[in-house]
C-alpha cells in the first residue's frame, strides 16, 4: 500500500479507537487531469507557452469543496518524486479554481517533455495526496495560439458473427458500422485473388446490398493473397468526392477508410472464423464509460446508444465532418456534434478545433455563419475557458452579421447590403444565402418531400433573424467576458431592437403564431420553433406558438429536430418532446434503427433525401437533448462550478444517467408515480447545484431534501432548491 494512503487510513482508525481524538482523513487525490483540455497531452505537442491545467476534485465528504491547490511541473518524473520541481512550484494557492489554471513557472523550453502533478486541500484544510504524474510535450516553437488535438486511435474490433454462405464465401458482421478497413489473417494454399465486399446495409440476410440507395456505402475490392500464413490489411483507394480540395484528409501515416458494418469474402481456400478477421476502426479517443443513460422506455435506450455511438464513430477525421460523402465541416452540423460530444464524453479539444477551423473555413448558408457564435459560447460554457473567444473575438463579431442590419435591426442577404467587405470579414469568397433547413423539396426524389414545411423563402427571413438574435445575445455575453464593455452594451442594445422588430413585424397576432418572413402569409414549423428555442417568443404567446408547433409534427430535418426539441422543452412540452424521440413513424430515430443503421442517418429516410448517407452526426440530437433536458444538467456558470439539474421526464417514469462535465461526472436518477417524484443526484466536489422540480398540482414549495423539509421558491410551475453542495442527495416531491 502507498504510504500516502496508508497514513490517513491508520490515523482514521486511531481516531475511532482513541476517545476524544478526532483526526480527519485526507481527501482522495485529484483525477481527470487535463492540459490544454487534453486527456493525453503526451500524445501530441503543446504550442502555448502558458498552457492551462484542469483537474477533478475528489472527496468522500458531503458538501465539500477545494480551498487550495498546489501544482508542480518538472523536466523529469524523479524531480517531482523528490519534491524538487525545476519548472514551476505554485506553492499552496488559496483558491477554488480547478479548471483553466495557467502555467506560471520558468519559461518552457521548445521540444521538451514536462511532467506535472497536483494536490488539493478540502473544506477542512486537509491536503490530498499528489495526483499521478502526467506528461506534456512542448512544440518546436512556442507562443502561437492553437488548439491541439489527440491523435486518432485504431481499434481492433472482432466480428460479432461469421457465417459460411457457400464454399469459399463467408459473411462477417462486426455489429456496428465504423470507419476503417479490415485486417485478415489467412493461410492460402496458393496465390489467389479474394473478392472483398464492404458495406453498411444488407439487401437480405447474410448478403450486403451491392446497390444501396443514396450514398450509403458499399465497395467491392480485390485482395491478392500468397501461399503460407500471412496477415493482410485491405487497402481502400481514396474516393474522389470525399478527398477533394475542400475535404478534410485522413492524417498522414493513417490508411484510407470507409464506413462499413458488414464484410463478405469470396474465393477463400481457408475457413474464415472470428479469429481470422478484425475491423480496424479509426476514431478520436473516446471514453465509453464517461456517459450512461437508461430508462423505462427501451426505444429511447436504443436511440441513446445509437446517438452516443454516432459521436464516436464519426470522429474519424479528428474534425467534425458531414459524414463520408464530402467529409467537409459545416457549422450547424458541427454545433450539434459539439453539443452531443459534451453529452457523451469529457472531451473538449476536438470540438474547439472544429469550431476554430470553421471560423476561417466557413460554408455558404447564412445561418451557418451565425452558428459560429453559438459554437464559441457552447465551448466557453462547457470548459469555463475564454481563451478561444478572446483570440477569435474580431471574427466572432463579424459572424453576427450585424453589418447586414436595417434600421429596424432585421437582417437579409437579399437587400443589397451584402458586399465583398462583409464577405472578407467572415472569411468567405462566395455569396451566402439562406437555408432554413435541408433539403428542400426540389432536392428529394420526385420533388415530393422537403424538410422546410413549405417555408416561404422571402428576403427578410424569420428563421435567419431568430438565429441572428441569438447570436447577438450571446455576443453581448462574450464581449462582457473578454472585457469589451462597449461592445457588450452595443450587442445587447441591438438584440433588444431585433426582439421588438421581430415580434412587431413577423408575428401574426390574429393567429398567435409567426409567419415565415416579412410580407409572407405562410407559417411554417421553422418560423415558430426557432423563436421559441431562442427565447424570442413573449410569455403571452408561448402557448399559441407551442400549440402550432405540435400541430406540425416532425416537419423538419434531423438538423431542425435539434431546435424543435429545444423549443418544446423550453415551453414545458416535455411529454410531447420525449414522444418525438421515441416515435415509430418514418420521421424519427426509431426509423433509423429499423433501417438497420447503427449510426445516425443524414435524413430521416432515403425518400426525404435522395443522396443521404448512413453516418452523419448532425442526426444525433438526442445525445445532447437527453442529458441537457430530459435529465436537465446544464451549467449556471461556465465550467459547471454552479449547475442546474432540472429533469423534464415527459412520460418516462424512471431514468438514470451519468453526464460528464469538466469538473467530473454528474449522476441523476428519477422515479415518478402519478403523485410523487423522487430524484437522486450525485455531483462532484467543488460544485454547487440548483435543483428544479415540477410543482405538480399542489404548487407546494415544500421538498424533502435528504429527509429534511426544505422550502423552495415556486416559479413558472417549478420549485427551485438552490445551493445544493457536492455528494449524494435525495429529493422527494409530492405532485398532488
pLDDT of residue 417: 92
635 within some domain: no
Pairing, β 688-694 against β 642-645 = parallel
Note whether residue 143 is domain-resident.
no
Q: Which of 596, 630, 664 is the last residue of a domain?
A: 630
pLDDT digits (tens, 9 = 90+) for 443-468: 877 677 899 999 999 999 999 999 99
Mean pLDDT across 616-644: 98
Q: What value does the mean pLDDT take over residues 650-677? A: 96
Q: Which of 262, 283, 304 is the C-terminal boundary of a domain? A: 283
pLDDT at 5: 30
CATH number of the domain that residue 598 is part of = 1.50.10.10
Max distance between CA atoms of the chain, in angstroms, equals 85
pLDDT tens figures, 233-245: 999 999 999 999 9
Q: What is the pLDDT of residues 676-699, one digit of tens each?
A: 999 999 999 999 999 999 987 767
Residue 573 lies in a domain: yes
Same domain, 102 and 158: no
Predicted local distance difference test score (pLDDT) of residue 10: 28
What local confidence, expressed as pLDDT, does residue 444 receive? Answer: 78
- Rounded CA separation 300/455 (Å): 30
Would you say residue 500 lies in a domain? yes
Is residue 162 domain-resident? yes
Q: Which three cell numbers stand for residue 688?
A: 454547487
Does 552 reside within a domain?
Answer: yes
d(CA 621, CA 290): 18
CATH of the domain at 133: 2.60.40.10
Q: Are 371 and 460 within one domain?
A: yes
Question: Closest Cα to residue 282, out of 182, 359, 212?
Answer: 182
**Do 162 and 185 reside in the same domain of the chain?**
yes
Grouping H, G, I as helix, E, B as strand and the rest as coil, residue 377 is: helix
Domain containing 263 — which CATH number? 2.60.120.260
CA neighbor of 185 nearest in space, from 219, 234, 149: 234
Q: Which three cell numbers mark 300? A: 429511447
User: Do residues 133 and 117 touch, judged by C-beta distance below 8 A?
Assistant: yes
Closest by alpha carbon to 428, among 418, 440, 438? 418
Let me know whether 128 and 167 are in one domain: no
Residues 533 and 583 in one domain: yes
Task: Write down the pLDDT at residue 228.
Answer: 86
Mean pLDDT of all residues belonging to the chain: 94
Q: Using one digit for the tens of pLDDT, what is the confidence trace for 204-224?
A: 999 999 999 999 999 999 999
Q: Are 584 and 690 within one domain?
A: no
Give the domain CATH number at 681: 2.60.420.10
- 487 in the same domain as 348: yes
159-166 CB contacts, 8 Å cutoff, 24+ apart? 159/274, 159/277, 159/278, 159/279, 162/272, 162/273, 162/274, 162/276, 162/277, 163/206, 164/271, 164/272, 165/206, 165/207, 165/264
Which ranges of 506-654 does DSSP label H, i.e. alpha helix? 525-533, 542-552, 558-570, 574-581, 589-595, 622-625
Residue range 629-641: average pLDDT?
Answer: 98
pLDDT exceeds 70 at position 3: no
8 Å CB contact between 341 and 351: yes
pLDDT class of 8 with cuts at 50, 70, 90: very low
Same domain, 53 and 27: yes
Number of domains within the chain: 4
pLDDT band at 22 (very low <50, low <70, confident <90, very high): low
Of 85, 107, 137, the last residue of a domain is: 137
Residue with cell 477551423: 357
Residue 636 placed within a domain: no
Whether the model clears a pTM of 0.85, i.e. scores above it, the answer is: yes
Q: Are residues 300 and 230 in the same domain?
A: no
Residue 32 lies in a domain: yes
pLDDT in tens, 384-418: 999 999 999 999 999 999 999 999 999 999 988 99
- The whole-number pLDDT of residue 23 equals 58
How large is the average pLDDT for residues 302-325?
A: 97
Three-state DSSP at 363 gives coil
Same domain? For 301 and 270 the reply is: no
**Are 161 and 67 contained in the same domain?**
no
For 566-591, what is each residue's pLDDT tens digit? 999 999 999 999 999 999 999 999 99
Q: What is the per-residue pLDDT across 157-185, written as a single tens digit (0 to 9) for each?
A: 999 999 999 999 999 999 999 999 999 99
Residues 544 and 600 in one domain: yes
**What residues make up the domain containing 526?**
292-630
Of the listed ranges 12-26, 223-237, 497-511, the least confidently predicted one is 12-26
Amino acid at each position: 500500500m502507498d504510504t500516502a494512503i496508508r497514513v490517513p487510513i491508520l490515523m482514521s482508525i486511531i481516531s475511532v479507537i482513541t476517545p476524544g481524538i478526532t483526526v480527519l482523513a485526507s481527501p482522495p487525490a485529484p483525477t481527470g487531469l487535463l492540459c490544454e483540455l487534453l486527456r493525453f497531452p503526451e500524445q501530441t505537442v503543446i504550442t502555448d507557452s502558458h498552457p492551462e491545467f484542469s483537474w477533478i476534485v475528489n472527496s468522500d465528504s458531503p458538501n465539500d469543496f477545494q480551498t487550495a491547490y498546489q501544482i508542480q511541473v518538472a523536466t523529469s518524473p524523479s524531480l517531482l518524486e523528490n519534491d524538487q520541481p525545476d519548472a514551476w512550484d505554485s506553492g499552496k494557492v488559496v483558491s477554488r479554481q480547478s479548471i483553466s489554471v495557467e502555467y506560471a513557472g520558468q519559461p518552457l523550453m521548445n521540444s521538451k517533455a514536462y511532467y506535472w502533478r497536483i494536490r488539493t486541500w478540502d473544506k477542512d484544510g486537509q491536503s490530498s495526496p499528489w495526483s499521478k504524474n502526467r506528461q506534456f510535450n512542448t512544440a518546436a516553437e512556442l507562443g502561437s495560439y492553437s488548439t491541439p488535438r489527440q491523435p486518432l486511435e485504431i481499434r481492433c474490433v472482432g466480428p460479432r458473427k461469421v457465417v459460411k454462405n457457400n464454399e469459399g464465401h463467408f459473411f462477417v458482421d462486426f455489429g456496428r458500422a465504423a470507419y476503417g478497413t479490415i485486417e485478415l489473417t489467412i493461410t492460402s494454399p496458393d496465390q489467389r485473388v479474394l473478392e472483398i465486399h464492404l458495406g453498411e446495409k444488407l439487401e437480405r440476410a447474410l448478403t450486403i446490398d451491392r446497390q444501396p440507395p443514396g450514398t450509403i456505402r458499399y465497395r467491392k475490392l480485390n485482395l491478392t493473397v500468397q501461399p503460407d500464413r500471412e496477415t493482410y490489411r485491405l487497402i481502400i483507394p481514396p474516393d474522389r468526392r470525399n478527398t477533394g480540395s475542400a475535404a478534410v484528409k485522413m492524417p498522414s501515416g493513417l490508411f484510407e477508410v470507409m464506413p462499413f458494418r458488414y464484410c463478405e469474402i469470396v474465393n477463400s481456400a481457408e475457413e474464415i472464423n472470428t479469429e481470422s478477421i478484425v475491423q480496424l476502426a479509426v476514431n478520436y479517443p473516446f471514453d465509453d464509460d464517461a456517459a450512461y443513460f437508461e430508462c423505462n422506455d427501451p426505444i429511447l435506450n436504443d436511440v441513446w446508444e445509437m446517438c452516443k455511438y454516432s459521436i464516436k464513430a464519426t470522429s474519424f477525421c479528428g474534425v467534425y465532418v458531414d459524414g463520408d460523402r464530402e467529409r467537409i465541416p459545416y457549422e450547424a452540423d458541427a454545433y450539434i456534434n459539439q453539443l452531443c460530444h459534451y453529452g457523451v464524453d469529457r472531451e473538449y479539444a476536438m470540438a474547439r478545433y472544429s469550431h476554430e477551423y470553421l471560423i476561417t473555413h466557413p460554408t455558404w448558408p447564412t445561418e451557418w455563419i451565425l452558428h459560429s457564435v453559438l459554437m464559441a459560447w457552447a465551448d466557453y460554457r462547457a470548459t469555463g475557458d475564454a481563451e478561444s473567444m478572446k483570440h477569435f473575438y474580431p471574427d466572432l463579431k463579424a459572424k453576427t452579421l450585424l453589418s447586414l442590419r436595417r434600421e429596424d435591426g432585421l437582417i437579409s442577404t437579399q437587400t443589397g447590403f451584402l458586399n465583398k467587405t462583409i464577405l472578407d470579414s467572415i472569411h468567405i469568397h462566395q455569396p451566402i444565402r439562406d437555408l432554413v433547413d435541408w433539403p428542400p423539396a426540389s432536392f428529394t426524389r420526385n420533388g415530393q418531400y422537403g424538410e422546410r414545411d413549405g417555408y416561404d423563402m422571402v428576403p427578410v427571413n424569420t428563421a435567419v433573424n431568430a438565429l441572428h438574435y441569438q447570436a447577438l445575445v450571446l455576443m453581448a455575453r462574450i464581449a462582457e467576458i473578454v472585457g469589451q464593455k462597449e461592445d457588450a452594451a452595443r450587442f445587447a442594445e441591438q438584440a433588444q431592437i431585433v426582439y421588438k422588430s421581430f415580434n412587431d413585424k413577423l408575428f401574426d397576432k390574429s393567429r398567435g403564431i409567426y409567419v415565415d418572413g416579412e410580407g409572407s402569409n405562410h407559417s411554417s414549423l421553422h418560423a415558430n420553433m426557432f423563436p421559441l428555442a431562442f427565447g424570442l417568443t413573449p410569455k403571452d404567446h408561448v402557448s399559441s406558438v407551442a400549440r402550432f408547433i405540435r400541430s406540425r409534427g416532425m416537419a423538419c430535418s434531423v438538423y431542425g429536430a435539434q431546435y424543435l426539441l429545444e423549443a418544446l422543452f423550453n415551453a414545458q412540452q416535455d411529454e410531447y418532446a420525449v414522444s418525438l424521440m421515441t416515435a415509430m413513424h418514418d420521421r424519427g430515430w426509431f426509423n433509423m434503427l429499423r433501417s438497420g443503421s447503427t449510426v445516425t442517418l443524414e435524413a430521416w429516410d432515403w425518400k426525404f433525401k435522395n443522396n443521404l448517407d448512413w453516418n452523419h452526426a448532425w442526426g444525433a440530437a438526442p445525445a445532447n437533448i437527453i442529458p441537457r433536458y430530459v435529465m436537465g444538467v446544464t451549467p449556471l456558470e461556465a465550467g459547471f462550478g454552479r449547475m442546474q439539474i432540472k429533469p423534464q421526464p415527459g412520460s418516462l417514469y424512471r431514468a438514470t444517467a451519468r453526464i460528464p462535465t469538466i469538473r467530473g461526472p454528474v449522476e441523476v436518477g428519477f422515479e415518478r408515480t402519478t403523485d410523487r417524484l423522487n430524484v437522486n443526484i450525485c455531483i462532484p466536489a467543488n460544485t454547487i447545484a440548483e435543483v428544479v422540480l415540477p410543482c405538480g398540482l399542489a404548487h407546494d414549495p415544500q421538498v424533502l431534501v435528504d429527509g429534511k423539509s426544505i422550502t423552495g421558491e415556486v416559479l413558472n410551475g417549478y420549485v427551485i432548491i438552490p445551493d445544493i453542495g457536492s455528494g449524494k442527495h435525495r429529493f422527494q416531491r409530492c405532485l398532488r
